């Protein structure tokens, strides 16, 4: 085991590049959220906040928010669940006016039918809507304020907001609209733009797995060792809502290069929750489950049950063999979970059974015997037991989508050595066993310690080492709208326009970077263009993206305008007005500039992608 001095020596090779006193990361998840931080002087040691609540102390709290009837903040996380349960137990109409939200992050995912913007609504349990930006802002603000209080309680002296670099995580497969939405919510929560960094979740996890040996002498091995240190590896980040997949390679200088565009889908852990909920509705009846969820008497039991299921679904061992002293000697191991007495009470009232005289097991078993599941289930001592093969079927659609996607992706990556599984859903035995079974003959499947915290801790590392990702791959083709001289052998006749004596082609897509092209952080692509008309007061630079590698026109299908950068012009005699337009790539967000070559004045723009009139192309 390496001693402390050896650890310190290795850390000196990667000093923190933050200019602040500390770095704090907020990992906003679909099901659970949390924060962690690290003082610059103590880097790379990371402190992860612990949330009391549920069955045990947790490093993450439920992504749940309770707002008062006037839409002001009430509580977050476990406290929000508890307060909501207490409120609903009171027979008071005013209590029904509170807004309770949970598992709402996925509304930010862009589809062909919808995309997020400032007017996007988030629907609460009472059926009423609130601006989604307000919901996300309140959650981020609570975690920010909780962090500040925790720091004040921990150290002597005062910590100010100006002392902190913040990092906010987002899925890599999300589009720029969702990233801007999260950034704006964070700014509304009181985090200044120049103190806020956006980290892509699988990149953060990749950084964590490369540097986790620095955090503890007990975890001193790289997941890539020896000859594999320069190998290609896949980061499979499985969270509550999404599967986020990237492929990286460790370069000789210790930085990471992305090799293919991020990909993935809605194959997170909440898919299993939905499948299990559907099964319960089929077994007990939809009205029973609705009463269990909404009746004030049972809300607290409802939250406890689903917290228990979250733990059970992750820890269920696929290949577990019955012990000699276990009564269950079936070859097929069982998944079991305690059923709340509240469910028996609801069923008893519905079926006119006296639950004071009839045991819950008898009520549950009676329904099982009448159901289509009677050969796969039984109720013993208040626990629902189901055959492993039956429970596994609830995972099959989600796992199949994931395996199919990986099966198509992996053959395109030459010499892939490792699949690195991170995220809370990766801790589920059924999932990582399925990945191992399918791909372990091709490459190693590695699940690091604390896989569920890899993104959160890696985001802190990213705040200290933001240039560790030295190369990314463009997810879209980026370009601007131009009006070149018309060429009848190249251009469509319908695009012909006359400008004085000149024939021009309108709406031509001038490509700066192609989809799939490798780009480094800060890569600047610049071209010089002339103002079209003499005496123009301004030049409008329209910036576009496309899913196609080489689009011809900006109004083609799959091509979308990000925005316009307007450059004021001043007439100069006997001189063409030249404007250098630049797109700066390689960071998690695009930057756009234009420079008047005569005055040398530079103009920058941050496109407002949250307007209801803008939409990004579906991946």
Q: What is the pLDDT of residues 405-421, one digit of tens each?
A: 999 999 999 989 999 99
Report the C-alpha gap between 131 and 119 in whole angstroms: 6
Neighbour order of strands in the sheet with 523-530: 523-530, 578-585, 591-596, 602-605
Q: 164: which DSSP letter? A: E
pLDDT of residue 474: 87
pLDDT of residue 332: 56
**pLDDT category, 224, cuts 50, 70, 90?**
low
Are 69 and 207 part of one and the same domain?
yes
Are 65 and 212 part of one and the same domain?
yes
Tell me the pLDDT tens digit for each residue of 346-394: 988 888 877 677 888 888 888 899 999 989 999 888 899 999 889 999 9
pLDDT over threshold 70, residue 244: yes
**pLDDT category, 219, cuts 50, 70, 90?**
very low
Q: Give the residue from 366, 390, 414 where a domain finishes.
A: 390
Q: 165: which DSSP letter? A: E
Q: Among 40-44, 160-164, 564-568, name the one with the lowest average pLDDT.
A: 564-568
Could you tell me if residue 414 is inside a domain?
no
Could you tell me if residue 138 is inside a domain?
yes
**pLDDT category, 611, cuts 50, 70, 90?**
low
Are 209 and 285 part of one and the same domain?
no
Could you tell me if residue 347 is inside a domain?
yes
Could you tell me if residue 436 is inside a domain?
no
C-alpha closest to that of 543 among 618, 465, 604, 456: 604
Could you tell me if residue 311 is inside a domain?
yes
Could you tell me if residue 446 is inside a domain?
no
Q: How many domains does the chain have?
A: 3
Are 166 and 102 part of one and the same domain?
yes
Q: What CATH number corresponds to the domain at position 519? A: 2.60.34.10
pLDDT over threshold 70, residue 606: no
Domain holding 372, by residue range, is 270-390
Could you tell me if residue 58 is inside a domain?
yes
Report the C-alpha gap between 164 and 318 in whole angstroms: 43
Q: Give the residue from 327, 355, 390 where a domain finishes.
A: 390
Q: Among 14-28, 318-332, 362-376, name the one with the lowest average pLDDT.
A: 318-332
pLDDT of residue 534: 59
Are 54 and 156 part of one and the same domain?
yes
Higher pLDDT, 145 or 304: 145
Q: Give the residue from 390, 416, 447 where a domain finishes.
A: 390
pLDDT of residue 547: 86
pLDDT over threshold 90, residue 582: no
Could you tell me if residue 37 is inside a domain?
yes
**pLDDT category, 14, cuts 50, 70, 90?**
confident
Report the chain's terminal Cα–Cα distance, integer Å.
47
Mean per-residue pLDDT, 97-123: 83
């Amino acid at each position: 085991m390496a001693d402390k001095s050896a650890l310190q020596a290795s850390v000196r090779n990667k000093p923190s590049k933050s200019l602040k006193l500390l770095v704090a990361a907020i990992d906003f998840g679909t099901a659970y959220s949390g924060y962690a931080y690290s003082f610059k002087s103590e880097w790379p040691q990371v402190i992860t906040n612990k949330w009391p609540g549920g069955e045990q102390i947790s490093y993450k709290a439920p992504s749940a928010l309770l707002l008062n009837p006037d839409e002001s903040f009430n509580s977050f996380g476990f406290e929000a669940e508890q307060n909501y349960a207490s409120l609903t137990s009171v027979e008071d109409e005013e209590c029904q006016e509170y807004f309770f939200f949970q598992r709402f992050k996925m509304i930010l995912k862009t589809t062909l039918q919808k995309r997020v913007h400032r007017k996007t609504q988030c629907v609460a349990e009472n059926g009423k809507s609130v601006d989604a930006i307000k919901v996300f802002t309140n959650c981020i603000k609570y975690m920010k304020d909780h962090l500040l209080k925790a720091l004040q309680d921990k150290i002597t002296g005062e910590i100010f907001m100006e002392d902190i670099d913040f990092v906010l995580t987002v899925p890599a497969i999300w589009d720029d609209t969702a990233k801007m939405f999260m950034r704006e919510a964070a700014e509304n929560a009181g985090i200044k733009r120049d103190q806020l960094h956006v980290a892509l979740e699988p990149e953060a996890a990749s950084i964590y797995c490369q540097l986790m040996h620095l955090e503890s002498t007990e975890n001193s091995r790289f997941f890539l060792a020896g000859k594999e240190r320069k190998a290609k590896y896949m980061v499979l980040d499985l969270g509550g809502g999404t599967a986020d997949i990237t492929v990286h390679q460790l370069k000789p200088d210790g930085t990471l290069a992305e090799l293919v565009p991020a990909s993935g889908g809605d194959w997170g852990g909440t898919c299993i929750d939905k499948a299990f909920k559907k099964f319960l509705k089929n077994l007990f009846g939809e009205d029973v489950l609705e009463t269990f969820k909404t009746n004030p008497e049972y809300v607290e039991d409802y939250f406890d049950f689903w917290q228990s299921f979250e733990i059970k679904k992750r820890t269920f061992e696929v290949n577990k063999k019955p012990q000699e002293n276990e009564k269950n000697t079936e070859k097929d191991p069982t998944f079991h979970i305690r059923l709340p007495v509240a469910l028996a009470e609801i069923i008893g009232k519905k079926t006119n059974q006296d639950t004071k005289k009839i045991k819950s097991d008898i009520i549950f078993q009676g329904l099982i015997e009448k159901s289509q599941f009677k050969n796969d289930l039984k109720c013993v001592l208040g626990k629902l037991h189901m055959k492993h093969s039956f429970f596994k079927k609830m995972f099959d659609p989600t796992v199949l989508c994931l395996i199919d996607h990986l099966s198509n992706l992996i053959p395109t990556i030459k010499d892939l050595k490792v699949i690195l599984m991170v995220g809370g859903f990766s801790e589920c035995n059924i999932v990582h066993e399925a990945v191992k079974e399918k791909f372990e003959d091709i490459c190693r499947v590695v699940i690091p310690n604390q896989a569920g915290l890899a993104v959160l801790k890696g985001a802190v590392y990213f705040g200290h080492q933001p240039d560790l990702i030295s190369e990314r791959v463009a997810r879209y083709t980026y370009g601007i709208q131009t009006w070149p001289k018309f060429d009848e052998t190249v251009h469509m006749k319908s695009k012909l326009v006359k400008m004085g004596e000149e024939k021009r082609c309108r709406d031509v897509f001038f490509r700066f970077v192609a989809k799939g092209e490798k780009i480094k952080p800060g890569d600047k692509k610049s071209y010089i263009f002339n103002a079209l008309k003499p005496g123009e007061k301004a030049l409008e630079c329209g910036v576009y993206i496309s899913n196609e590698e080489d689009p011809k026109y900006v109004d083609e299908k799959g091509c979308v305008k990000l925005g316009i950068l307007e450059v004021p012009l001043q007439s100069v005699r006997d001189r063409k007005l030249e404007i250098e337009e630049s797109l700066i790539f390689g960071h998690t967000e695009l930057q756009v500039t234009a420079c008047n070559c005569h005055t040398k004045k530079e103009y920058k723009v941050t496109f407002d992608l949250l307007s209801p009139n803008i939409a990004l192309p579906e991946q």
